[in-house]
Structure 1
Amino acid sequence: MQENIRQDKIVGSRRFSNYFWSLFLTIGGLSFLLAGLSSFFKINLLPFANPTELVFIPQGIVMMFYGALSLSLSLYISATIFWDIGSGYNEYNKLENLVKIVRKGFPGKNREILLTYSLTSIKSIGIKISEGLNPQRTIYLCLKDERKIPLTPVQQPNSISNLEKQAAELAKFLDLKLENL
């Protein structure tokens, strides 16, 4: 039975990088906000600096704006971590002749994202590798109607050898050809 069903877990927003950026933006945002408030009230609210000497207009207002912006971005990242946006699994089921792609989205009526495809509608497994400033290394489910469904999560790029190994194992499991996109 297990040789006919394969399930790959997908990590969502609960990654180290998101925890890091959420903490970094919270600390930075609070510091900027307190610096702006210190310049307005002329009371030192920061133990490691003396922002009371800043002129409130324009420096204090700009500091408060950057602080509020940073805290807002930190709150957004924290919410995606809490809801674990993007997590889920890919299930390849030879018994039911289906491929299921399940992901979590934002809360609401479409929180659970479920895509199902028949194994007969799949043409191949594709790999796309692009280098540069924004490197992408992705495995795709290539359908006969020319759609390409990404199977790998959005994250730090996998090593090329690891990506090729995963794609080859999946193509072998589904008895499909492997192609370079």
Structure 2
Amino acid sequence: MSADLQESPNTGDPSETLLEQFVKGSKKTSNYIVASMLTIGGIGFSLASISSYLGKDLLPLGNPSTLIFVPQGLFMGFYGISGTLIACYLWALIRVDYGSGFNRFDKEKGVLSIDRQGFFKKITIEIPINEIQAVKLEIREGFNPRRRIVLRLQGRKDLPISEVGGPQPLLYLEKQGAELASFLRVNLEGLSN
């Protein structure tokens, strides 16, 4: 999540009235690599399964025709179909750039607009800025780590606003949280698990 300050049409310092943060979606290099590997693997396992059924080598590597169709060929076919379906799902997410969008903090209108690309439609949430009580950094380490910026809202659940993906570097996250808290003139709450 990178904070880019946009020009405000009204007089005054634009950095004091409008803040836009653009959020990356699923069009990331790592997603392209994983989708490509799943596609190649899924097709490879499917061809190995078909080769074991037909008794002909459809792959240039190995001798899949020597595999016994039941159970080895069937399991390879299951893996091939599963890998191909997951790859198709990932390619669809990459195509629509799932999760991309922006956070727009507009002090003149007094509204926080969160806009994200969903799978079938755009998702837009508008919240009055005066309902934001604090900016909070959530850090969870371990097997499934999480590092994100969350807005603490009055009378509602906390609202995460950072991009989805691998954990962000802690220094970068702290800097973004501090800039946002300074812009909104609210407290930056400490790290929580």
TM bracket, shorter-chain basis:
over 0.9
Indicate which of 12, 17, 20 corresponds to 2:33. Answer: 20
* 1:61 alignment counterpart: 74
Q: How does 1:1-181 map to 2 (within 5 A)?
A: 1=8, 2-3=14-15, 4-107=17-120, 111-180=121-190, 181=192
Give unmatched runs, 5+ long, in structure 2: 1-7, 9-13
Partners of 1:100 and 1:69 lie apart in 2 by: 38
What letter is aligned with 2:67? L
Partners of 1:45 and 1:177 lie apart in 2 by: 63
Secondary structure at 2:95 match in 1: helix
Partners of 1:106 and 1:160 lie apart in 2 by: 30
Q: How many residues align?
A: 178
Shift of 1:140: 0.5
Partners of 1:80 and 1:22 lie apart in 2 by: 10
Partners of 1:29 and 1:146 lie apart in 2 by: 44
**C-alpha deviations, 1:60-109, integer Å up to 9, x for none?**
111111000000000000000001111100001111111111001012xx
- TM-score, length-scaled by structure 2: 0.90
What letter is aligned with 1:125? V
Q: Which runs of 4+ in 1 moved over 6 A?
A: none
Give unmatched runs, 5+ long, in structure 1: none
- TM-score, length-scaled by structure 1: 0.96
Partners of 2:112 and 2:52 lie apart in 1 by: 59
Shift of 1:146: 4.1
Secondary structure at 1:158 match in 2: coil
Partners of 2:77 and 2:146 lie apart in 1 by: 37
Partners of 2:156 and 2:116 lie apart in 1 by: 22
Q: CA RMSD in A?
A: 0.9
Secondary structure at 2:40 match in 1: helix
What letter is aligned with 1:29? G
